């Protein structure tokens, strides 16, 4: 019986990977690869004028719906405080939680937010996952995806042709309707990025990933 192929995605907030790798997720899911997503924070600070439990429930509901639509097999929430992921990750030994997932799923690839993303929660996720990976006996292929990045990094690059899945990526992003104010800001940069990376990869639309392990 062939071994089940799995990828793990680690993000600070439930819509990060939609922006950075929604097309790749749709592609991998279509190829029969199991996609597991771990979310460090509920992102409850995104609407300070609402009570936290209202925002959390809304984000949970829309995330589960969006995940099913794109083909994500399972979404795991760790419930760390929004904007406080660094502190909470240390308190609850999030690196240990990451290591448990590595041992359970033995992924062929791991995707994480970038170390130079300006959002501190994204940086905290990067450090936490790499700490767990580096402490593991098994070697894993780890790739960074971009959310708010504007600086080109000097690291090995992998491009993924998402041309057949670009529309699905944009539909996936739209399903995070509670985040419309951020999504609207990112729409044009996402289009520009995917078109530019497509030109680098001899296709119409592509996503770029930096290999860090």
Q: How many CB atoms lie within 10 A of CB 53?
A: 10
Residue 162 within a domain: yes
Query: How far, in Å, are 59, 154, 177, 183 from residue 45 at the CA level?
Result: 11, 33, 15, 16
Taking the C-alpha atoms of residue 198 and residue 205, their distance in angstroms, rounded to an integer, is: 4
> CB of 5 within 8 A of CB of 34?
yes
Taking the C-alpha atoms of residue 172 and residue 47, their distance in angstroms, rounded to an integer, is: 21
Give the pLDDT band of residue 3 (cuts 50, 70, 90). Answer: confident
Give the pLDDT band of residue 49 (cuts 50, 70, 90). Answer: very low
Give the pLDDT band of residue 181 (cuts 50, 70, 90). Answer: confident
Residues in contact with 154: Cβ distance below 8 Å, sequence separation at least 6, in sequence order: none
pLDDT digits (tens, 9 = 90+) for 91-115: 999 999 999 999 999 999 999 999 9
Q: What is the pLDDT of residue 2?
A: 63
Alpha helices (H) along 85-165: 85-91, 94-105, 120-135
Residue 119 within a domain: yes
Residue 1 within a domain: no
Residue 45 within a domain: yes
CATH number reported for the structural domain that contains residue 56 in this entry: 3.40.50.10320
Residue 133 within a domain: yes
Residues making up the chain, counted from first to last = 213
Structural domain containing residue 81 = 6-211
> What mean pLDDT do residues 129-134 have?
98
Q: How many domains does the chain fold into?
A: 1
Mean pLDDT of the chain: 92
């Amino acid at each position: 019986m062939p071994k089940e192929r799995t990828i793990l995605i680690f993000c600070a907030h439930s819509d990060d990977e939609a922006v950075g790798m929604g097309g790749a997720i749709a592609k991998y899911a279509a190829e029969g690869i199991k996609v597991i997503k771990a979310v460090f924070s509920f992102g409850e600070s995104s609407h300070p004028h609402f009570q936290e439990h209202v925002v959390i429930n809304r984000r949970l509901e829309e995330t589960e719906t969006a995940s099913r639509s794109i083909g994500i097999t399972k979404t795991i929430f760790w419930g760390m405080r929004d904007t406080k992921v660094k502190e909470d990750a240390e308190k609850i030994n999030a690196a240990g939680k990451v290591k448990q997932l590595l041992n359970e799923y033995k992924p062929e690839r791991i995707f994480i937010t970038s170390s130079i993303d300006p959002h501190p929660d994204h940086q905290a996720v990067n450090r936490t996952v790499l700490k767990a990976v580096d402490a593991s006996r098994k070697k894993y292929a780890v790739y960074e995806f971009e959310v708010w990045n504007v600086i080109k990094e000097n690291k090995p690059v992998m491009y993924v042709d998402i041309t057949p899945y670009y529309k699905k990526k944009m539909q996936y992003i739209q399903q995070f309707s509670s985040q419309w104010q951020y999504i609207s800001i990112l729409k044009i940069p996402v289009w520009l990025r995917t078109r530019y990376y497509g030109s680098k990869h001899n296709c119409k639309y592509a996503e770029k990933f930096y290999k860090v392990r």
